[in-house]
């Protein structure tokens, strides 16, 4: 048995170490370790509750809008104003969150993951008329290979035509991300940490000018996603079709859903959403409703004290850096005692099985193009495909939502903050399901807990010894060269880990 450590995993957000036990070229055991403690939940204690939607965005600079939405939903619930949100406020929240999805998805593929499949040596010698390829070649020469370095060599299969297309889109994707940031700034004031998402709705009252700017940029982004991003993923998947059988991991999936369409969002009532939530258990082809009471966070192998753990509404964040048997600053969320994968794959599977017409159409088309069935979606290449399809679906939803804005009408409800209350905010984030729990007492935050997507996916073993989703997805992976574990890096990056969120 040979032990190897990848520390850090590069081209992700935050600090992640992966330890592998390899026998005869196959991963027999894996450990996922978040190596940084941040403690932002404790920073919130004692503050004005309205600070939460500002501070929680600092959990992450990649997906802050999702935290802003989850936090304001929790505050709406705690303040008892969840049924008073004006239609404009609800729609603008969705548009801000949608912009965050787009920029995150484009970032993940082009700037974090595609480089696992492109050989920089091939790019250096490529004769191309594509201006994007030429610009990237010039950049590579001036930076001694970055961002491809540090790189893992070997198993590059894409032909010159596909490599040229993906490389040519690399720099254009940066411009598309900028336009997605601008979508958020139009209604949120700025990006990455917007000021527009607040309890009661949003601060920005829509007008014709802001709606026109939003539609224009969204149209440019749509053209890139439909004609470059999704087709590029399809071509990549054809070249690496065997990776629909690599990195499968757990057979349990959970999503709360997001993008509220009507009514209100909180802990007491069900509301319709643009992307629905649910639970798939043990590889079933049916979806059941989730029960929030069945969520726990375990810390047996995490550097936190055992006291005060359990359901996130009552949990505490108490570090214990010298704890025996612990190996991660990530807690271990479980649903009904089992690890569950979250993210675009889970969302697309759940919405496909629940009969979401948009997802059925777009995911069905994409799966037909690459020749797979739904049960192959939880895999390295399936996660990339699901993320691109979801991006396309979110853009189509946003096109409808922006048309429903009513210029000049209110976007935020008036309210008085109560002295005490409890709330939960549930939403979809680019990397998966996101929940915020808050308790207010004497006008201050008494307790605040977040259970974020990568906390689910990158969780360590629980008290029963069950590995987390990323750990399980690595089991059985063939590693051709332990000195150069490209296959393991591809598996991990398919989840788009955000360790800054996971350790919060």
Identify the residue with better confidence: 65 or 143. 65
The pLDDT of 104-127, averaged and rounded, is 84
- Residue 215 pLDDT class (50, 70, 90 cuts): very high
CATH of domain 2-503: 1.10.645.10
The pLDDT of 107-113, averaged and rounded, is 94
DSSP assigned state of 424:
E
Q: Which residues of 161-199 are buried (b: 16+ CB within 10 A; e: fewer)?
A: ebbbbbbbbbbbbeebbebbbbbbbbbbbebbbbbbbbb
- Residue 266 pLDDT class (50, 70, 90 cuts): very low
Q: What percent of the chain lies above the pLDDT cut of 90?
A: 81
SS3 434: strand
- Residue 442 pLDDT class (50, 70, 90 cuts): very high
Distance CA 44, CA 24 (A): 49
Least confident span in 98-102, 139-143, 160-164, 229-233: 139-143
Two tokens at 107? 């970032």
Is residue 388 a contact partner of residue 230, using CB atoms and an 8 Å limit? yes
- Residue 431 pLDDT class (50, 70, 90 cuts): very high
Question: Any residues with CB less than 8 A from the CB of 268 and at least 6 apart, and which?
Answer: 77, 82
Say yes or no to pLDDT of 123 above 90.
no
Spell out the domain ranges in the chain. Answer: 2-503
Q: What is the pLDDT of residue 308?
A: 74
- Residue given tokens 């026998």 in the structure block: 23
Say yes or no to pLDDT of 59 above 50.
yes
Residue 303 phi/psi, 5-degree rounding, is -80, 60
**Per-residue pLDDT reduced to its tens digit, 362-407:** 999 999 999 999 999 999 999 999 999 999 999 999 999 999 999 9
Mean pLDDT of the chain: 92
Helices (H), 321-462: 344-353, 357-370, 380-403, 453-457
Say yes or no to pLDDT of 447 above 60.
yes
SS3 152: coil
Distance CA 108, CA 101 (A): 11
Q: What share of the chain is helix, strand, coil (3-state, %, to 5)?
A: 45, 20, 40
Distance CA 431, CA 391 (A): 12
Question: What count of Cα atoms within 13 Å lies in the side-chain half-sphere of residue 340?
Answer: 30
| Predicted structure pTM score | 0.95
Q: Which of 270, 268, 278 is nearest to 424 (CA)?
A: 268
- Residue given tokens 């600092």 in the structure block: 58
DSSP assigned state of 333:
E
Distance CA 258, CA 435 (A): 11
């Amino acid at each position: 048995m040979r032990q190897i450590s990848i520390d850090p995993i590069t081209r992700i957000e935050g600090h992640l170490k992966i330890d592998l036990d390899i026998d005869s070229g196959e991963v027999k055991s894996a450990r996922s370790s978040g190596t940084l403690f941040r403690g932002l939940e404790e920073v919130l204690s004692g503050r004005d509750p309205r600070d939460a939607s500002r501070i929680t965005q600092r959990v992450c600079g990649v997906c802050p809008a999702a935290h802003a939405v989850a936090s304001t939903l929790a505050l709406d619930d705690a303040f008892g104003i969840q049924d008073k949100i004006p239609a404009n406020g609800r729609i603008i929240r969705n548009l801000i969150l949608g912009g965050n999805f787009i920029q995150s998805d484009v970032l993940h593929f082009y700037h974090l993951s595609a480089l696992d499949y492109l050989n920089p040596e091939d790019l250096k010698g490529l004769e191309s008329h594509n201006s994007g390829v030429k610009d990237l070649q010039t950049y590579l020469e001036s930076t001694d290979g970055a961002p491809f370095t540090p790189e893992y060599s070997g198993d590059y299969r894409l032909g010159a035509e596909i490599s040229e297309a993906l490389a040519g889109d690399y720099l254009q994707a940066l411009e598309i991300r900028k336009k997605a940031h601008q979508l958020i700034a139009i209604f949120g004031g700025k990006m990455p940490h917007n000021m527009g998402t607040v309890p009661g709705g949003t601060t920005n009252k829509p007008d014709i000018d802001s709606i026109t700017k939003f539609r224009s940029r969204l149209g440019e982004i749509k053209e890139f996603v439909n004609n470059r991003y999704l087709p590029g993923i399809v071509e990549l998947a054809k070249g690496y079709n065997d990776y629909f059988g690599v990195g499968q991991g757990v057979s349990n999936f959970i999503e709360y859903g997001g993008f509220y369409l009507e009514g209100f969002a909180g802990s007491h009532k069900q509301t319709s959403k643009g992307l629905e939530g649910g639970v798939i258990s043990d590889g079933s082809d049916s979806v059941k409703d989730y029960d929030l009471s069945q969520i726990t966070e375990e810390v047996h192998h995490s550097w936190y004290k055992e006291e005060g753990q359990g359901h996130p509404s009552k949990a505490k964040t108490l570090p214990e850096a010298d704890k025996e048997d612990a190996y991660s600053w990530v807690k271990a969320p479980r649903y009904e005692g089992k690890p569950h994968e979250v993210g675009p794959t889970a969302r697309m599977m759940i919405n496909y099985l629940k009969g979401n017409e948009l997802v059925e159409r777009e995911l069905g088309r994409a799966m037909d193009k690459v020749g797979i069935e739904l049960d192959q979606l939880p895999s390295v290449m399936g996660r990339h495909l699901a993320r691109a399809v979801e991006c396309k679906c979110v853009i189509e939803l946003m096109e409808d939502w922006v048309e429903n804005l009513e210029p000049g009408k209110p976007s935020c409800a008036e309210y008085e903050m109560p002295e005490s209350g409890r709330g939960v905010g549930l939403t979809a984030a680019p990397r998966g399901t996101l929940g915020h729990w808050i308790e207010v007492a004497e006008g201050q935050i008494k307790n605040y807990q977040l259970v974020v997507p990568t906390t689910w996916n990158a969780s360590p073993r629980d008290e029963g010894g069950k590995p987390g989703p990323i750990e399980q997805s690595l089991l059985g992976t063939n590693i051709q060269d332990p000195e150069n574990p490209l296959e393991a890096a591809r598996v991990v990056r398919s989840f788009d880990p955000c360790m800054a969120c996971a350790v919060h």
